[in-house]
Structure 1
Amino acid sequence: MAALSQQSTVDELGMGVLRDLVAGVLFPGHTVLHTRAKHLLFLPRDFIGLKGSTVEALSKAARQAETNRIAALRRHYNPELQGKGIIGYTTGSETKQMPSGSYWGLLRRLGIYKGKGSVWDAHSTLATERSARLQRSMFHAEDEDDQVAPGIDLWDELPEPADEFQGFDLSADEAAWLREKFLLSDKSSANARSLVSWLLDPDRKEWGAEVSRIWDHARASEFPAMTAEAM
């Protein structure tokens, strides 16, 4: 145990490998930072309209968009902010890791973001496309602008947001859309599917909201074989 207290030690016991294997079976693509599904809608909605033609400008605009979202969530839940799942609710624009840093991998896994790489790579791809688009437009007359190739499509089509801001609450359409994204991302057979896919199956009518430990689920005996083995 003394080895674990050394700052230079990195998973000397190899527990990280086991953790990742189990997590991949139960909740693939998830981390302990993923506490609010609405971020999977906030981020694309905020990023789709970013202004800028350079990586630096897009990165700055993205950070401002996330800062604005944090502020909106603070206003919505004020004064009871603690425990609401608002990333950066105490530090605001000074937050070191914005929601995009936590949720980007899951956005890619679910196919909500259709590009490759990190957030920075996304900005780079968009900046390159916009630069090329600007150069192409220079060779077209003003009345030919509509003939210029459309911009690249980096995001999946999203459900319409509610008329009024609902914080982290999902509308019925948003919940159904996210469930479909999770189910479509799992290509495994019935016995090898993830636990999250099993739980989100539309044929399953009960949720079991009062279950604090997954192995206490009333239908644990029906879990996929891979899930049962991991547990």
Structure 2
Amino acid sequence: MSSLGWIDFDEAERQRAQRIMALLQERESRDELGLGAIRDSIADHLFPGTSTIQTRLRYMLFIPWLFRTLESNELSEAQFREQARRLEVDFIKSLQNGGETKGVFGIDAGARLQRLPSSVYWAGLGAWGIRVFPGSIDSLFVALRGRGRLRGGSDDDETLVNSHALAIWSPALPQMPKDLLERAVFRLTTEEAQFLIDRLVATQPASLLTTLARNGDDADCDYIWTHPHLSAFPAPARRLVQHGEIFSQVMHGAALLYNLALSELRERDDWKDDYRELLKFWVDELDLGAVRAWSLDDFWSVVEHPAHAIRQPAKNFVTQWRDFVLGGTMEAITSPSARRLVEDRERRLKTSQSRYANHAVRDRWSGASGTERLTFRWAQARSHLTLQLLF
């Protein structure tokens, strides 16, 4: 949904409008209707190595630097794991000492931090060729246990400790700042930014993220399909973005209908009114001409990605919902068959935890789930481009 406006008649209307806007900004990550593989396939084609919970781009350098401080030590697997965790937790203080408050991973949890930054950025480090070791973090600890190694860089003073040295990081990795463990900031240096762009060019040359980073494109827009330079995108990326726009627009209606149905089951008149209003906006903004022209055969062809298996039931659900939309948007909202399609999909995915079937689970429902339009991680890519790669 590109815009939502209202006339501020009174306080009640103003509060209602604020509730609706809050619903649209809900960011629950659960994939209620089983569209995650399609969403992530598109995102990984356009913006590889990104994640919805990445906070700051310089973590792509922080993680290798922190790990390299341990790699030449003679440690057991358990010791590597323990010391790596301590380093990542202690690093929170280093960022605070540097004056950073926003985007610091674990700033509230501190020592209780469960998901470490390394686990969040590990896949991206591999996708961008910053990490050349092919395995998981745990497998790296296993490979390093009880042995010294050549620290992964090109320093003249680094020496081979044993003949089984591992290649873990790109040899071109910039040098770690000497005071990193005492004071750290998120701002990239020119050398670091160029290193990241070079890694993208080398490992992800066809991605839209690489094109935008190389061109220094820092457009401020909510959706990638509203980018002012869309027409200049490489043809494959432009084709995928156009497919993504229609997919996001069409399937948003199914997500809103799901939330409306749960609101009805919870007998919450305020939620029901809000979702009916949102569905009206969805109907008004839906480009039926584009939906009619949408080739699902071409869509399934271009979104295919080796890291994600899009199963036939998901394809069937998208196809059937699209058919309901083409039959009339109000029909898609009110038709018992359309509502049954959404319900059956959720029940098959969630089984005993279905909010339709399980009263206890439904009673814990917050009133919003998956209400935001799919954006395919454009917000994270835009943050990397505008705040940190470009300066």
Q: Which structure has the larger Rg over C-alpha atoms?
A: 2
TM range (shorter): 0.7 to 0.9
Relative to the length of structure 1, the TM-score reads 0.76
**Is it true that 1:168 corresponds to 2:190 in the alignment?**
no
Q: Deviations over 1:10-65 (max 9, x none)?
A: 85633112102211221122211123110011111110121442110000010011
Which residue does the alignment assign to 1:29?
Answer: 49
Note if 1:210 corresponds to 2:224: no
The unaligned stretches of length 5 or more in structure 1 are 1-9, 134-144, 188-192
Aligned residue-pair number = 197
Cα pair distance change 1:147/1:113, threshold 3 Å: closer
Q: How far apart, CA to CA, are the structure 2 residues paired with 1:147 and 1:207?
A: 44
Structure-2 change in CA distance of 1:113 and 1:14 (3 Å): same
Matches within 5 A, 1:131-210: 148-149=162-163, 151-157=165-171, 158-162=173-177, 165-187=183-205, 193-201=206-214, 204=215, 206-210=216-220
Summarize the Cα distance change of 1:127–1:88 in structure 2 as closer, same or farther, 3 Å threshold: same
SS of the aligned residue for 2:82 comes to: helix
Match of 1:65 among 87, 95, 103: 87
Unaligned runs of 5+ in 2: 1-29, 150-158, 242-391
Taking only aligned residues, the RMSD between alpha carbons, in angstroms, comes to 2.6
Structure 2 equivalent of residue 18 of structure 1? 38
More RCO (CA 8 Å, sep 6+): 2
- Higher normalized helix content (fraction of residues): 2
Match of 2:107 in 1: 89
State whether residues 162 and 171 of structure 1, in contact with CA within 8 Å, keep that contact through their aligned partners in structure 2.
no
Query: Distance between the aligned counterparts of 1:156 and 1:14, measured in 2?
Result: 36
How far, CA to CA, are the matches of 1:216 and 1:43 in structure 2? 34
Q: Could you tell me which amino acid in structure 2 is paired with residue 87 of structure 1?
A: F
Give CA-to-partner distance per residue, 1:74-115, whole Å, 9 cap, x none. Answer: 22226xx2xx11110011121000100100011112221211
What is the TM-score with the length of structure 2 in the denominator? 0.46
Counterpart Cα distance in 2 of 1:185 and 1:108:
9
Q: 1:66 to 1:12 in 2, by over 3 A?
A: closer
Of 120, 126, 130 in structure 2, the residue corresponding to residue 112 of structure 1 is 130
Partner Cα distance (1:92, 1:44) in 2:
21
Alpha-carbon distance between aligned partners in 2 of 1:25 and 1:122, rounded to the nearest angstrom: 27
Q: Distance in 1 between matches of 2:165 and 2:37?
A: 41
Partner of 1:3: none
SS of 2:199's partner is helix
Identity of aligned residues (%): 30
Given that 2:55 and 2:104 are in contact with CA atoms closer than 8 Å, whether structure 1 keeps it comes out as: no
